């Protein structure tokens, strides 16, 4: 049985980028242990919390006193163990996200004490380039990577390929453009599927750009497992298509007991 006394954190920021995409900032009552950029934690709300007005009817009802918990990648830098940022998309028929989208500043919620995951930069070879590929909110762990480590990785090249539908789905666009302007070794490649005529950037699927030589031509980054580490996070179709392209180029999946140059976070 759970009640509000299990809530251990307060919402301190909520930015709705679209009605179904938000940046949520949460302050935990007690600091968490040190963590590595790219890791995730679980957050939760009770079943009795109201759902957002634009959500749909869930497939099943949950008990009022059930704590609904789901894992989310931390987008904030790893030097802050009190305030955590999450980049969340609303699954309209889901259980937790419609309740998260209904939160406001000062709302109470639950955040796990544990921060876990092996999707992290810390054990990549120090001289390897880093390519981070994401669709949608799969960008979250890379924001933590960059906020935590971009300044210590100026000897290598780093790139983000971010796929989305419309311009307004590109969360963190300004921050990533700013980092690209400040750090000459960082390249930001957003690519859109449904952009209108005001968009002058890349269009189409990430895999088309990879196969078309974008990284080599625009950033001088070779797709070679001895030179470049790849991180993939987001839509399962994107992860599967791009990992197949990389396996063809002799990439091997990174495991905790067996280092490889391909790192995957599956949602």
Ligand X SMILES: Cc1cc2nc3c(=O)[nH]c(=O)nc-3n(C[C@H](O)[C@H](O)[C@H](O)COP(=O)(O)OP(=O)(O)OC[C@H]3O[C@@H](n4cnc5c(N)ncnc54)[C@H](O)[C@@H]3O)c2cc1C
Please provide the size of the chain in residues. 267
184 is an interface residue for ligand X by CB under 6 A: no
- For 88, the token pair is 């969340």
Tell me the closest approach of the beta carbon of residue 55 to ligand X, in angstroms. 9
Q: Which residues contact 100 (CB under 8 A, 6 or more apart)?
A: 22, 24, 43, 45, 88, 90, 109
Q: Are 81 and 35 in contact (CB under 8 A)?
A: yes
DSSP code of residue 43:
E
Q: Of the listed pieces 11-19, 69-77, 222-230, 241-249, which binds ligand X according to CB under 6 A?
A: 69-77
Q: Of the listed pieces 86-94, 120-128, 216-224, 240-248, which binds ligand X according to CB under 6 A?
A: 86-94
- For 140, the token pair is 């979250």
Q: Which residues contact 241 (CB under 8 A, 6 or more apart)?
A: 205, 207
The single residue among 95, 107, 135, 229 that binds ligand X, judged by CB under 6 A, is: 95
Q: Of the listed pieces 30-38, 81-89, 201-209, 246-254, which binds ligand X according to CB under 6 A?
A: 81-89
Tell me the closest approach of the beta carbon of residue 81 to ligand X, in angstroms. 18
Q: How far apart are CA 197 and CA 192, in angstroms?
A: 12
267 is an interface residue for ligand X by CB under 6 A: yes
Residue with tokens 């163990």: 81
Give residues 36-55 in contact with ligand X (rule: CB under 6 A): 40
140 is an interface residue for ligand X by CB under 6 A: yes
Give residues 2-41 in contact with ligand X (rule: CB under 6 A): 40
The smaller minimum CB distance to ligand X, of residues 1 and 59, is found at 59
DSSP code of residue 33:
P
Bridge partner list, 27: 10, 83
The smaller minimum CB distance to ligand X, of residues 217 and 255, is found at 255
The smaller minimum CB distance to ligand X, of residues 96 and 109, is found at 96
- For 91, the token pair is 């699954």
Reduce the secondary structure of 230-264 to three states and give it as a string.
Answer: EEEEECHHHHHHHHHHHHHCCCCECECCECCCEEE
96 is an interface residue for ligand X by CB under 6 A: yes
The smaller minimum CB distance to ligand X, of residues 61 and 226, is found at 61
Instruction: Identify the CA nearest to 179 among candidates 157, 133, 147.
Output: 147
The site that binds ligand X (CB under 6 A) totals a number of residues, namely: 21
The smaller minimum CB distance to ligand X, of residues 21 and 214, is found at 21
Tell me the closest approach of the beta carbon of residue 17 to ligand X, in angstroms. 12
The single residue among 1, 5, 53, 59 that binds ligand X, judged by CB under 6 A, is: 59
Closest residue to ligand X using C-beta atoms: 94
Q: Which residues contact 201 (CB under 8 A, 6 or more apart)?
A: 190, 191, 192, 195
135 is an interface residue for ligand X by CB under 6 A: no
The single residue among 34, 57, 60, 152 that binds ligand X, judged by CB under 6 A, is: 60
- Cβ count within 10 A of residue 266: 10
Residues that bind ligand X (CB under 6 A): 40, 59-60, 70-73, 86-89, 91, 93-97, 137, 140, 265, 267
């Amino acid at each position: 049985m759970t009640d509000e006394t299990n809530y251990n954190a307060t919402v301190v920021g909520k930015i709705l980028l679209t009605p179904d995409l938000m940046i949520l900032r949460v302050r935990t009552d007690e600091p968490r242990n040190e963590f590595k950029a790219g890791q995730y934690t679980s957050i939760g709300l009770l079943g009795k919390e109201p759902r957002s007005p634009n959500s749909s009817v869930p497939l099943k009802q949950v008990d009022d006193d059930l704590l609904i918990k789901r894992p989310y990648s931390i987008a904030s830098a790893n030097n802050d163990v009190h305030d955590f940022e999450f980049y969340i998309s609303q699954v309209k028929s889901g259980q937790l996200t419609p309740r998260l989208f209904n939160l406001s500043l000062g709302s109470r919620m639950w955040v796990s004490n544990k921060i876990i995951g092996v999707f992290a930069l810390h054990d990549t070879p120090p001289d390897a380039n880093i390519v981070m590929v994401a669709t949608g909110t799969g960008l979250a762990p890379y924001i933590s990577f960059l906020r935590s480590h971009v300044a210590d990785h100026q000897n290598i090249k780093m790139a983000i390929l971010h796929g989305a539908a419309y311009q307004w789905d590109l969360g963190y666009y300004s921050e990533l453009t700013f980092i690209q302007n400040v750090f000459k070794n960082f390249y930001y490649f957003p690519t859109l599927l449904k952009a209108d005529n005001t968009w002058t950037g890349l269009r189409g699927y990430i895999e088309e750009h990879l196969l078309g030589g974008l990284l080599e031509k625009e950033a001088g980054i070779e797709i070679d497992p001895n030179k470049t580490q790849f991180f993939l996070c987001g839509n399962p179709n994107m992860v599967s298509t791009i990992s197949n392209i990389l396996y063809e180029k002799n990439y091997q999946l990174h495991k905790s007991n067996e280092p490889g140059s391909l790192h995957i976070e599956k949602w």
